[in-house]
Amino acid sequence: MSYNWKKFTRRIPIKASAKAIYDAWTTQQGLESWFLRLAQFNKAGGGLRPKNSHAEAGDRYKWLWFGYDDSVVEEKEIIAANGWDQLKFSFSGGCIVTVSIKQEDGETLCELIQEMPMEDVNEQQHFFIECGKGWGFYMANLKSVLEGGLDLRNKNVNLKEVINS
């Protein structure tokens, strides 16, 4: 059986409005509530975006995680952001992540698709497995924070190899 290592999808229903989910993905304040220790957006024309302002296409981001020191940093670009239900950004290793908010069978779904465009199958497998694990946890944490306020992240930089950072 062959396996497609070039793309994966993670979906989760969240009892929250599409606006609340979009805000959680596209503002510094939102991202720091469930995903990141630091989530700065620099406007395409220059200058730091305010904490509650939505990221826009062309913005550059700087992301730092709890559980890791400042040497683990992601600095990439927002490719697209439509203002209500979709965000697309470049990510580790040249990967592309698209987040969509959808209505399905009376539920609000958050769907994440990560594409691994590199040609090296070992590299594809690495990002498929490692990012897939990470996104699974963080999307569950997004649901937890939005539905009940409980943040499940490890915030202790000295604890290594735990599933929640």
**pLDDT score recorded for residue 20:** 99
Domain assignment of residue 61, yes or no: yes
Domain hosting residue 14, numbered range:
7-148
pLDDT at 1 over 80: no
Which tens digits make up the pLDDT trace of 63-72? 999 988 899 9
Question: How many domains is the chain partitioned into structurally?
Answer: 1
Q: Is residue 154 part of a domain?
A: no
Q: Please check whether residue 144 lies inside any domain of the structure.
A: yes
Q: Is residue 155 part of a domain?
A: no
CB atoms within 10 A of CB 123: 15
| Residue 164 in domain | no
* pLDDT score for 165: 86
Tokens of 157: 């930089």
Cα distance between residue 19 and residue 101, in whole Å: 9
- Greatest alpha-carbon span in the chain: 50
pLDDT of amino acid 132: 97
Q: Indicate the average pLDDT of the chain.
A: 97
pLDDT in tens, 106-148: 999 999 999 999 999 999 999 999 999 999 999 999 999 999 9
Query: Residue 20 is part of a domain; what is its CATH number?
Result: 3.30.530.20
CA-nearest of 10, 12, 34 to 107 is 12
The residue to which tokens 């290594």 are assigned: 160
Cβ atoms of residues 87 and 99 within 8 Å: yes
Q: How confident is the model at residue 74 (pLDDT cuts 50, 70, 90)?
A: very high
